[in-house]
């Protein structure tokens, strides 16, 4: 598996409880090796013609390109938002030991 196969996927959740539930489900399904939850961010965005300002938490999902569709499906089924955020970022380089761990955590 090359570095191009590893991805960081970014999502948001309305609160810590939802974020932890989603993260646990992703790990249990072996769709992610690790999910970091970053608390207390402010998101400002346009939704249905209005400017919204909400407190959210960020999920940084470490996974592979091959799991994107399954992660998207899980979020669409379990996320409380009408349109869950899911953005894929390439990992250009990764340490050999972390890459091996990431692969082994997903491939179990």
- With a cut of 90, say whether residue 1 has pLDDT above it: no
Of the listed ranges 18-27, 47-56, 93-102, the one predicted with least confidence = 93-102
- With a cut of 70, say whether residue 56 has pLDDT above it: yes
DSSP sequence for the chain: --GGGEEEEEEEESSHHHHHHHHHHHHHTTS-SEEEEEEEEEEEEEETTEEEEEEEEEEEEEEEGGGHHHHHHHHHHH-SSSS---EEEE-S---HHHHHHHHHHHH-
Answer for the pair 68, 5: CB distance below 8 angstroms, yes or no: no
For the whole model, what pTM was predicted?
Answer: 0.92
Query: pLDDT digit string (tens) for 81-99?
Result: 999 999 999 998 999 999 9
What does the pLDDT read at residue 2? 56
- With a cut of 80, say whether residue 3 has pLDDT above it: no
What does the pLDDT read at residue 107? 82
Q: Percent of the chain scored above 70 by pLDDT?
A: 95
């Amino acid at each position: 598996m090359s570095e191009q196969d590893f991805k960081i996927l970014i999502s948001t959740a309305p609160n810590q409880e939802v974020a932890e539930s989603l993260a646990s489900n992703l790990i249990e399904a072996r769709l992610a090796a690790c999910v970091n939850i970053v608390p207390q961010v402010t998101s400002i965005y346009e939704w249905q013609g209005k400017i919204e300002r909400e407190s959210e938490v960020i999920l940084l999902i470490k996974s592979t390109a091959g799991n994107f569709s399954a992660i998207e499906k899980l979020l669409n089924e379990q996320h409380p938002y009408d349109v869950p955020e899911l953005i894929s970022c390439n990992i250009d380089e990764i340490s050999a030991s972390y890459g091996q761990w990431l692969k082994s955590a997903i491939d179990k």
